[in-house]
Amino acid sequence: MSDPGVAVVIEDDADVRNLVAAVLKQSGFVVHVAPTGRAGVDLVRAHDAAVVTVDVGLPDIDGYEVLRRIRAFSTCYVVMLTSRGDELDTLTALQSGADDYLTKPFRPRELRARIAAMLRRPRVAPNQVPGVPVPAAAVPPAEPAAPVAPPAVVEHNGLALNAAARTVVLDGRDLPLTRSEFDLLNEMLKSNGAVRTKADLVRVVRGDYYDEDTYISDSDERAIEVHIGNLRRKLDEDPKNPRWLQTVRGVGYRLTSTRS
């Protein structure tokens, strides 16, 4: 990972804080640390962090409130660190808009691999995160180039997804999605109605770290259910008559058929 930017570690446990900071420094980040939520939010704002790790249990404000405050001004990647075996922490982290989560204790190489996988994918566009101001577009230097065909847009039942621009338009309005939600929706649209198992979709969200031989836990699959549930809420999907995402009981999900 070359020059990935700034990372902020928000963690009150000194041992965990030092471990996470060391992993991020080894990955090339300039790292700032904070033992409290409020101080961490200030660091994220001051240094325009690219990646932030947030412990759920902080001494002043909890990690979910930290995430909410960060999302008010930043599209950075946020990884929540949750208590071991506490599924509620995991689900709440994802429902609150975190990009990923890790349960304690975790292996340093897993944290490194998770962050590397996130950085290989574009950030969510600023206009897709409610409350985040859209910066003025930078003007690229003029250089001769052959005409480029417009990016392919996949359309299905009133939904239009542009994978290159990472935008989704539903019935003429922009749809704000997290990185994971976008990747899952893109994968379902590309599947053309084929059933995708929850394990398949875990690998879509987790990236290269989760290959065919990697163990997929119940918690991983439950996280996919949460992401799909969030997607359905944003799509205003009728579960009795789904327009886009159909559950295949005991297996996974498929794209609905095209409506005339």
Look at residue 134 and tell me if it is in a domain.
no
Within a domain: 163: no
Question: Would 186 be classed as within a structural domain?
Answer: yes
Looking at the fold, whether 110 and 189 belong to one and the same domain comes out as no
pLDDT at residue number 122: 59
Alpha helices for 78-174 (secondary structure H): 87-95, 108-119
Residue 168 lies in a domain: no
Q: 101: left (phi > 0), else alpha (psi -120 to 50), else beta?
A: beta
Domain of residue 233: give its range: 176-255
Cβ 61 vs Cβ 38: under 8 Å:
yes
Three-class SS state of 184? helix
Based on the fold, state whether residues 13 and 113 are members of the same structural domain: yes
| 17 neighbors 33 (Cβ within 8 angstroms) | yes
Quick: pLDDT tens for 163-181: 888 899 998 899 988 888 8
CA separation, residue 29 to residues 2, 74, 95, 150 (Å): 9, 18, 27, 35
How confident is the model at residue 172, as a pLDDT? 86
Query: Which domain-ending residue is among 75, 104, 120?
Result: 120
Does 137 map to a domain? no
Do 188 and 91 sit in the same domain of this protein?
no
Question: Number of structural domains, the chain?
Answer: 2
Q: The CATH number of the domain where 196 resides is what?
A: 1.10.10.10
Statement to judge: residues 95 and 201 lie in one domain = no
Residues facing residue 8 across a β-bridge? 32, 52
HSE-CB at 38 with a 13 A cutoff on CA atoms is: 3
pLDDT of residue 136: 40
Residue 135: the pLDDT is 42
Same domain (yes/no): 180, 116: no
Measured CA to CA in angstroms, residue 157 lies from 29, 37, 171 at distances of: 42, 42, 9
Structure confidence at residue 84 (pLDDT): 60
pLDDT at residue number 140: 42
Residues 111 and 198 in one domain: no
Q: Are residues 194 and 101 in the same domain?
A: no
Domain co-membership, 198 together with 105: no
Residue that finishes a domain, picked among 120, 135, 165: 120
- Say whether both 14 and 108 belong to one domain: yes
Confirm whether 165 is domain-assigned.
Answer: no
Q: CA-CA distance, 30 to 21, in Å (whole number)?
A: 9
In a domain, 47, yes or no: yes
Q: What is the pLDDT of residue 164?
A: 87
Q: For residue 71, what are its two tokens?
A: 């999302």
Final residue belonging to a domain, choices 120, 143, 161: 120
Q: For residue 152, is it within any domain?
A: no
Shared domain for 180 and 105, answered yes or no, is no
Same domain? For 194 and 112 the reply is no
Residue 127: what residue type?
N
Which structure tokens are listed for 26?
């080894």
The CATH code of the domain that includes 96 is 3.40.50.2300
Residues 31, 102 within the same domain: yes
- Which of the residues in the chain have pLDDT under 50? 1, 125-150, 209
Q: What does the pLDDT read at residue 46? A: 96
String of b and e for 135-162 (b: at least 16 CB within 10 Å)?
eeeeeeeeeeeeeeeeeeeeebeebbbe
Give the contacts of 231 (CB within 8 A, at least 6 positions apart). Answer: 177, 181, 184, 185, 237, 245
- pLDDT at residue 150 in the model: 47
7: part of which helix (H) or strand (E)? Answer: strand 6-10
* DSSP H or E segment with residue 205: helix 198-206
Encoding tokens for residue 28? 């090339």
Tell me the CA end-to-end span of the chain in Å, nearest whole number: 47
The CA-based angle 14-18-19, given to 5 degrees, is: 120
